């Protein structure tokens, strides 16, 4: 059966994708970038984000990806300032029905490291397990998420430069 779960080796939630980067900025600045709609638009495929960030509340992303308009949706699952943000996510562009088994979770974990912040982004299936399609698409998932983290680093570091320039403390 296509899309059937693959046997798990572990009792922990398995990731369908995992990427990380070290951003030369404190967790407070990275966190602000993660939750500020105007900044999200700069690093997250130009998407407009609509949410109040309350746990259990909806989140929607609207925009254009590879020339096609999209409206994705999910729910805020974890909101731990400067530490962890987890949302569920479903996209009609996936070609799947809007059902729990077709949602995934996206988690941003922030950990201070030196003068910067280590950001680890993981994607997992909301209902658990790893499917054959996840294995087939892992490199594409990771390529997209790596681009998100690269852009997050750029906008976070740009905001640091603008803050310095505006404060006159060069």
The per-residue pLDDT for range 70-113, each reduced to its tens digit, is 999 999 999 999 999 999 999 888 888 999 999 999 999 999 99
SS3 string, 83-120, reads CEEEEEEEEHHHCCCCCHHHCEEEEEEEEEECCEEEEE
Does residue 135 lie in a domain region? Answer: yes
* φ, ψ for residue 7, nearest 5 deg: -55, 135
Does residue 5 lie in a domain region? Answer: no
Q: Which of 62, 110, 63 is nearest to 85 (CA)?
A: 110
Does residue 131 lie in a domain region? Answer: yes
Q: What pLDDT shows up at residue 160?
A: 60
Task: With residue 50 as reference, give the H or E element that holds it.
Answer: strand 48-50
**Angle at which helices 27-35 and 132-167 cross, to 10°:** 110
Instruction: Measure the CA–CA gap between 108 and 15, rounded to whole angstroms.
Output: 13
Q: What pLDDT shows up at residue 113?
A: 96
The proportion of the chain whose per-residue pLDDT surpasses 70, expressed as a percent, equals 85
Does residue 3 lie in a domain region? Answer: no
Q: The domain that contains 155 carries what CATH number? A: 3.30.530.20
How many structural domains comprise the chain? 1
Assigned token pair, 155: 């906008």
Q: What pLDDT shows up at residue 3?
A: 38
Does residue 17 lie in a domain region? Answer: yes
Exposed, middle or buried by CB within 10 Å (0-12, 13-18, 19+), for 83? Answer: middle
Count how many residues are written for the chain. 170
* φ, ψ for residue 109, nearest 5 deg: -105, 130
């Amino acid at each position: 059966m296509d899309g059937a779960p693959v046997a798990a080796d572990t009792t922990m939630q398995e990731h369908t994708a995992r990427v990380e980067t070290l951003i030369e900025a404190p967790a407070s600045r990275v966190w602000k970038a993660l939750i500020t709609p105007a900044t999200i638009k700069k690093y997250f495929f130009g998407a407009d984000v609509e949410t109040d960030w309350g746990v259990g509340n909806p989140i929607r992303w609207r925009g254009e990806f590879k020339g096609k308009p999209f409206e994705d949706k999910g729910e805020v699952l974890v909101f731990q300032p400067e530490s962890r943000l987890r949302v569920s996510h479903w996209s009609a562009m996936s070609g799947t029905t809007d059902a729990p088994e077709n949602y995934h979770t996206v988690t941003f974990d922030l950990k201070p490291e030196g003068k910067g912040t280590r950001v680890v982004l993981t994607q997992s299936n909301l209902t658990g397990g790893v499917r054959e399609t996840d294995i087939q698409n892992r490199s594409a998932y990771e390529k997209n998420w790596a681009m998100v983290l690269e852009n997050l680093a750029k906008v976070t570091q740009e905001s640091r430069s603008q803050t310095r320039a505006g404060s006159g403390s060069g």
